[in-house]
Amino acid sequence: MTARLLTTERRAITGLAGLYATRMLGLFMVLPVLALYANDLSGATPLLVGVALGGYGLTQAVLQIPFGLLSDRVGRKAVIAGGLLLFMLGSVIAAEADTIYQIILGRCLQGSGAVAGAIMALLADQTREEVRTAAMATIGLSIGVAFAIAMVIGPLVAAHFGLTSVFWLTAVLALVSLLVLWKLVPAAPRLVRHRDVGLDRDQLRSTLSSASLLRLDFSIFSLHLILTAAFVAVPFRLVDVGIQASHQGWFYLAVMGLAFVCMVPLVIIAEKKRRMKATFVGAVAGMTLILLALGEFGHQRWTLLGLLWAFFVVFNLLEATLPSMISKLAPAGAKGTAMGVYSTSQFLGAFLGGVLGGALSSHFGYDAVFLGAALLGAVWLAVIWKMPAPRHLSSEIVALDDHPDALDTLMARFAEVAGVEDVMVVPDERVAYLKVDRQRLDTDALARVAGTRDDSSGA
C-alpha cells in the first residue's frame, strides 16, 4: 500500500522533520564539549558537570507526555511554539551563565520544551494513513543525522568561539524553528488522537506489563545512560592522547562517518535476514566489551580511536534497531503508548548517565566511568538474554471512512486476511490498526476488506 505525497504532506514532513532535527541538534551539540569547557565556570565539579550534561533528560522525561496530552486539548502548533520558546530561553540562560548552576538551569529549561510528542501528533494530523509510516521514518532519520552533525559542529564552534557560542547557536536554531513552524508547516486540518503516535491511557497498563517491551525500555535507558556518562570522560581521554579540543570535531566527523558506513550492513542483516535478536544481543555484548576495554586499555591513541569507532558502530546500530523492535512487539494500536514509555526511559537514562558519570569521575577517575558503564552493560545483557526473538511484523494503518460493517464483523474480516496477525478497529478515528507479516500478507484481500477495492474488479 503506497501513495504519492500530497503537497501539504510534503511541506509538513519537511518542516516538522527539520524542526525536530534542529531541536535535537541544539541539545546534542553540548554533549562532546561541556565537560572540556566547564572548568571556567564558577562552582564546576565533575558531578555538577555531569548533572548539566544530563539535566535536559530529567525535564524532558517528566514533561513529554503531559505536553503531548496538552496538545490534544489546546492545539499542536501552540504547544510546539511554547516548547520552542522554553528551549530558546534555556539556551539564552546557559549562554549568559558564569556558574555551573546557571548552566544546569539552562539545560533543564531546554529539556522542558518537551514537544516531541506534539510534533509527532501534528505530523499524524497532516498525513494520510497510507503515508504515515514513511513520514515517521523520515523523522527518525532526521534525528540520527542531527546527532552526527552535532558531534562535529559542537566541538568546532566551541573551539573557535567558546562554550557560550554553542548555546547562542542553539538559541538561534530555536528561533529558526519557530519561523519554520509559522511559515512552512501548514495548519492542521484536523485534531484527533492517534494511537500510533500518542499515549492511550487505556493501553498503558498492558504496555507496562509486557516483559518484552519493558526489556526494550530498559535497553534504551541503558544505552543513553552509557552515552551521556561516556561523554563525561571521552573528551579528556582524547586530550590525553594528543587530540586537542580544537581538533576533536574533525575526529568525530571521521569516526561517525566510518561508524555509519559499517553499521548499515548490520541493520540489513537484522531486518532483511530476520536476525534481529542475534544482532541485538551481540550488539549489547559488544558494547559491554568495548566499555571494559576503554576502561582498561584506552590510554594509547590508536587503541582509543579504534575502540571509540567500535563504540559508535554499536551505538548507532542499537539506536536504529530498538525503535524497530518496539514497533514489532507493540500490539496493534498500542505503538504510540509503547513509544511514549520508551522515550521517557531514554531521557531518564540520559539524566542518570550524566549524574553517575560525574560522580564516578569525581571519586574514582575517568577509567571508573567506563568500567561502571561496562557493569551496567553486563546487567543489560542478562536482562535481554532470554528475551524471545521478536516476530518480524509491521504496522499497517487502514482508513475506514463510512465502512458499512459493524465493528465486530469488521475486526473478524480483517483477522481472516492472510498475514494479518493482530487488529484494532477504532471507530472514532475511522481507522484500523494492523500488525502484519509482509511476506505472507494478501494485499488484495486486505484492500477488499478495507473497502478500497471492489470484489467485482476481478482481484
> What structural domains does the chain harbor?
1-198 (1.20.1250.20), 207-392 (1.20.1250.20), 394-457 (3.30.70.100)
The answer for 333, left when phi > 0, alpha when psi is -120 to 50, beta otherwise, is: left
Q: Is 360 left (phi over 0), alpha (psi -120 to 50) or beta?
A: alpha
Do 372 and 354 form a contact (C-beta atoms < 8 A)?
no
Cα–Cα distance, 362 to 47 (Å, whole number): 6
Check: CB of residue 275 under 8 Å from CB of residue 269: yes
Burial 196-208 (b: 16+ CB within 10 A, else e): bbbbbeebbeebe
C-alpha cell read off for 330: 507493540
Q: How many CA atoms lie within 13 A of 457 on its CB side?
A: 10
Give Cβ neighbours of residue 415 (< 8 Å, ≥ 6 apart).
423
DSSP state of 432: E
CA distance 113 to 248: 29
What are 401's three cell numbers? 471512512
- Predicted confidence at residue 196, as pLDDT, reads 67
What is residue 436's predicted lDDT score, i.e. its pLDDT?
86
* CB-CB contact of 35 with 103 (8 Å): no
CA distance 110 to 57: 9
Residue 293 C-alpha cell reads as 576495554
**Chain CA centroid to CA 171, Å:** 21
Which residue is it, cell 514489532?
A: 328
**Cell (9 digits) for 46:** 565533575
C-alpha cell at 333: 494500536
Non-local (6+) Cβ contacts of 251 within 8 A are: 238, 243, 305
DSSP letter (8 states) at residue 244: -
End-to-end CA distance of the chain: 15
H-type alpha helices, 241-300: 248-272, 276-297
**Alpha-carbon distance 111 to 118, whole Å?**
14
Q: Is 71 exposed, middle or buried (0-12, 13-18, 19+ CB in 10 A)?
A: buried
Question: What is the pTM assigned to this prediction?
Answer: 0.89
Output DSSP code: residue 300.
Answer: S
Would you state the cell numbers that stand for residue 292, as one nine-digit string?
Answer: 571494559
Integer Cα distance of 265 and 321 in angstroms: 12
Q: Name the DSSP letter for residue 331.
A: P
Grid coordinates 507526555 are at which residue? 65
Element (H, E) at 238: helix 211-240
- The pLDDT of residue 454 is 44
Distance between CA atoms of residues 169 and 109, nearest Å: 16
Q: How far apart are CA 70 and CA 81, in angstroms?
A: 13
Bridge partners for 432 per DSSP: 398, 425
10-residue averages of pLDDT along the chain (459 residues): 73 87 89 90 93 94 86 85 94 95 96 86 79 79 88 93 95 92 77 66 79 94 97 95 91 91 89 87 97 94 95 93 85 80 93 96 95 97 91 77 64 83 77 83 81 43
Q: Whole-angstrom Cα distance, residue 123 to residue 319?
A: 22
